[in-house]
Amino acid sequence: MKKKWQDGNDIKLLINGEEFFPRVFDSIRAAKREVLLETFIICEDEVGKELQQELIAAAKRGVRIEVMVDDYGTFDLSKTFVSELIEAGVGLHLFDPSPRRFGMRTNLFRRLHRKIVVVDGALAFVGGINFSAEHLASSGEKSKQDYAVEIRGPIVNDIHEASVQLLRDASIQKHKTWVKLSPAKNPPQGKTSMLLAIRDNNKHTTDIEKLYLQAIRSARQRIVIANAYFFPGYRLLRALRNASRRGLEVILILQGEPDMPWVSACSRLLYNYLIKEGVKIFEYCERPLHGKVAVIDNQWTTIGSSNLDPLSLAMNLEANVFIDDEAFNQNLYEHLIELSKNSCKPITLEIAQRGYWWRLPIMFVTFHFLRYFPAIAGWFPARRPKLKPVKVDDLEDHHPESEPLLKQK
């Protein structure tokens, strides 16, 4: 069942790990009953170790902890790191654990890419930030620019339900205790109207994309999208083109210092088409852009884990919140415009057309391949998404990058 807009929420923007991590760790420290955490990546660095210690301390106080991580994203934790969590009573679940073939990881697609934390069913965090020191400026020039939100109010009920449902539906070992997870019933806490949208491979395959399309098609003033991995399908490209033709200001802030160069290369294949239609494109050049945010007109905003590329729009498990709040919209809009002016390189038509004659056939082939890639991947036998609880006995004695976290049985 699709979620409905919920009124009466309080929301706070968190920019980068410097704002996100302290708030999450403080909330875990204050937890009394339950912590649900979903993420793509936990690294065994200063951030991951602090998260581990806060989860262990909470578990020892009697707080129920359920951590869901992706087996592809979180693949290199040591046995010591993991066993300390499990022995403290933390429930750790691997999403879609798969064996390697010829030393290569095989679980490339349909990842658990959501980033959600829910504490005591009353406080939630949603965004694009993983638990990694790469989201701190102190990690150097490769640190990531990213966003999340801290939320209280009725929308937390829906976020909590989404995490519990993933545990229930995907867990290999069915537990009656899932039904004992604290049901969230939150009264109004503010004035913001919000909607949770998830993307899965069952009943919610296009929810996030449809909400983007609806907002872009109905926009009357401005569209600003900051997205790390931008290679949408034709419907979104056409909607952006048409919005620019209607006279709207359409601004894209994309990667200029990419953490995955081939992804940015795909995005640049689209520049000529968009700029000719009046779309303004800026490449963020201070550090890798990892955000997935957008503001449209003066009310609509979205923040979450979903990129605008084939993996996020058609393969991964994603979660975005959609926000109807003028003050929040204006705050993020001003921040993004400041980024575009002070930290970005504007892409002109002259720049976009350099080498266009030889890039055109590559663009045609790449665009149409990626456009139909999800359907091609769908030809292969589908597997039900699964969460496997991690046990100490299942851990490898050592876990270098070339080895799986779990022994494959």
Q: Is the pLDDT of residue 378 over 70?
A: no
Least confident range from 161-175, 376-390, 394-408: namely: 394-408
Fold of 6-200+383-394: Endonuclease; Chain A (3.30.870)
Buried b (16+ CB within 10 A) or exposed e, 311-343: bbbbbbbbbbbbbbbeebbeebbebbbebbeeb
CB 106: neighbour CB atoms within 10 A? 12
Domain range annotation of the chain? 6-200+383-394, 207-310+323-376
pLDDT the model gives residue 370: 58
Residues 147 and 167: their CA atoms lie apart, in Å, by 25
- The overall pTM is greater than 0.85: yes
pLDDT 10s digits, 128-175: 999 999 999 999 888 999 999 999 999 999 999 999 999 888 776 666
Q: For tokens 């912590």, name the residue.
A: 35
CA-to-CA distance for 180 and 78, rounded, in angstroms?
31
Residue 102 banded pLDDT, cuts 50, 70, 90: very low
Least confident of 12-21, 99-108, 173-182, 339-348: 99-108
Cβ count near 61 (within 10 Å): 11
Q: In this structure, what are the phi and psi dihedrals at residue 41, rounded to the nearest 5 degrees? A: -135, 130
pLDDT of residue 159: 96
Same fold, 6-200+383-394 and 207-310+323-376: yes
- 166-203 per-position pLDDT tens digit: 988 877 666 655 555 666 689 999 999 999 999 998 88
Tokens at residue 385, please?
């998404």
Question: What pLDDT score does 142 carry?
Answer: 86
Residues 6+ apart with CB under 8 A from 356: 272
pLDDT score, position 250: 98
Written as one letter, the residue type at 148 is A
Question: For residue 87, what are its two tokens?
Answer: 């022995």
Whole-angstrom distance, CA of residue 287 vs CA of residue 163: 32
Each residue of 234-270: pLDDT tens digit?
899 999 999 999 999 999 999 987 555 556 566 677 8
- Contact status, residue 127 vs residue 147, Cβ threshold 8 Å: yes
pLDDT at residue 398, as a whole number: 47
The answer regarding whether domain 207-310+323-376 maps to CATH 3.40.50.720 reads: no
Question: Which of 362 and 141 is assigned the larger pLDDT?
Answer: 141
Residue 49 — very low, low, confident or very high, per pLDDT cuts 50/70/90? very high
Residue 194, classed as helix, strand or coil, is strand
Could you give the 3-state DSSP secondary structure of residue 240? helix
3-class SS of residue 283: strand
**Which residues are known to be catalytic?**
113, 115, 120, 290, 292, 297
Question: Are 224 and 295 in contact, with CB atoms under 8 Å apart?
Answer: yes
